[in-house]
Amino acid sequence: MVQIQEITNFANEKGLIISKDALEELSQQTDWKVILEELGKEDNPIVNKEALSKRMVKTKFSGVNTEVEIRKTRFNAYVKDRTPNFRIMGEYDVTGKSHCEGKKEDFLRLFRSKYKLISSMLKERHNLTPIAIKDLKGVAKNENIDVIGMVNRKWTTKNNHIAFEIEDLEAKCVVLVMEKEKELMKKAEHVLEDNVVGFKGVKIGDDFLILKEFYWPDTPIGSPKLLDEEIYTGCTSDFHIGGNTFLEGPVKKWLEYLNGKNLAGKKLDRVGRMQYLFVVGDNVAGIGVYPGQFDELKIKDLFKQYEAFEEVMLQIPEYVQVFICPGQHDAVRRAEPQPAISKEFCPRLHQMKNFHFIASPSWVETEGLKNLIYHGPSIHDLISSVSFLDMDHPQEGMIELLKKRDLMPKYGGRNPYVPEERDYMVIKEVPDFVWIGDMHHNGYSTYRSTTIINGGTWEAQTDFQKKIGHHPTPGVFPMVNLKNRQISEVYFMREGLEKEVSAK
């Protein structure tokens, strides 16, 4: 324990005024002198606990032999004094609101609620005039008719037609896609069990239709909303801190980049305009997430993994509003919707004004634009259920979910869901941006007015990924210019490489 008097004297020499709690914190730090030296270079002479946490210049990854030291290069960032404009849309965030007991009635309520929400979106489509399935009885044979149903069962008949058993809140019927209708057969692959879909067909019997067209609730056609000002939002994900494949060196370079180190001109100006950052889950490697994981960990204590995660986050400039959601590796329940990571695991970040812990999925409005933040496990499930999606294009999977307006497109796959009182998985609004992770693969797309960004990873290819032939894209950081939706990628595994990419 360092003498308190010694610290106080040194601080006085530097012209700093230290609060009692900051003094106590400093007395625990072996490098307190370095920290005070750094603080002395700042404009503000008041050192409270919050200011102290932000100015910790040394990163220690417990259990890792190397130490990463970042010396902040201060620069006059464009957004430094710009007032952020954001609102966490608490109405769509499950944190602190989970009271579900997982009873049969809870599941029934969830599926009924999903049916009601998505069918009301479908009813707004001008080309669909649905009737209740029970009213099929009153329709003449061979009449054209529209119904909305949740898919109960899907199968291929002896004659290679595809059949769907669908139901609404009162009745069931069967819809048949004829094998000769090649376009419809292709579309039928998109329709999974538990999807709520509009069906246009011809009545053959009181509970039997031949399909003419499918309809998804979809998002409306529209142009992306743009800001007048050049402000950037960044996205990153899947740090997996504590695992032996965590890429500590590239993360150090990323932090230097965010702090403007070795940057000039346009590049420096651009990074100084990043006011929002979404950190989209799998922040730490976790403990016991899969069998045998313990042997692959460098940090074998969950709290220490989060301590190391905090050290990384604390080096992000304080003018960036950082929103952090969990993933399957984080210290929250595995089933979705996942609540925010609690204060117990990230006490220092929880007390910072610019760090915000949110659920997955959750919604945040920034500059009047609606951001849907979702780690993405149901995209994973979707990719393994169909032939037209793959892990190298996670953004395409997200487009499927937008068309279905549902983040729980398939119940009973690998991904578990909790039947909460409110439905957090239906996409109730049209997002301007969707920020996803999970697939360890950067990917960008624009679907109608929505831009989709996958933040990639900071984990090298794992043995498991090698086995299944998945090639992740670690160390690539995307930022979007809100003025024109232009995406810039900065590469931290390949020194100096930057690319402008489009989100087609």
| Residues of the shown chain interacting with Fe ion in the complex, contacts defined by CB under 5 A | 238, 282
DSSP state at residue 138: G
CB nearer to Fe ion: pick between 294 and 464: 464
The residues with which 247 forms a beta bridge, in sequence order, are: none
CB nearer to Fe ion: pick between 118 and 379: 379
Q: How far is the CB of 27 from Fe ion (least distance, A)?
A: 37
> Nearest to residue 74, comparing CAs of 314, 237, 258, 294?
258
CB nearer to Fe ion: pick between 68 and 241: 241
Instruction: Specify the long-range contacts of residues 337-343, CB closer than 8 Å, at least 24 apart.
Output: 337/94, 337/361, 337/417, 337/418, 337/420, 337/424, 337/425, 338/94, 338/375, 339/94, 339/95, 339/96, 339/98, 340/93, 340/95, 341/283, 341/306
> Nearest to residue 437, comparing CAs of 419, 459, 417?
459
Question: Can you count the helices (H) and strands (E) in the chain?
Answer: 13, 23
CB nearer to Fe ion: pick between 282 and 367: 282
Q: Which residues contact 101 (CB under 8 A, 6 or more apart)?
A: none
Q: How far is the CB of 238 from Fe ion (least distance, A)?
A: 4
Q: Which residues contact 257 (CB under 8 A, 6 or more apart)?
A: 263, 271, 477, 490, 492
CB nearer to Fe ion: pick between 246 and 323: 246
CB nearer to Fe ion: pick between 290 and 294: 290
The residues with which 69 forms a beta bridge, in sequence order, are: 58
CB nearer to Fe ion: pick between 130 and 455: 455
Q: How far is the CB of 291 from Fe ion (least distance, A)?
A: 17
What Cα–Cα distance (Å) separates residue 50 from each residue in 21, 307, 327, 383? 10, 16, 27, 43
The single-letter code of the amino acid at 18 is I
Q: How far is the CB of 328 from Fe ion (least distance, A)?
A: 7
Q: Which residues contact 470 (CB under 8 A, 6 or more apart)?
A: 391, 392, 440, 441, 461
Q: How far is the CB of 237 from Fe ion (least distance, A)?
A: 7
Closest residue by beta carbon to Fe ion: 282
CB nearer to Fe ion: pick between 282 and 406: 282
Q: How far is the CB of 218 from Fe ion (least distance, A)?
A: 29
Q: How far is the CB of 470 from Fe ion (least distance, A)?
A: 11
Q: How far is the CB of 282 from Fe ion (least distance, A)?
A: 3
Tokens of 184: 């419809």
Which helix (H) or strand (E) segment is 453 a member of?
Answer: strand 450-454
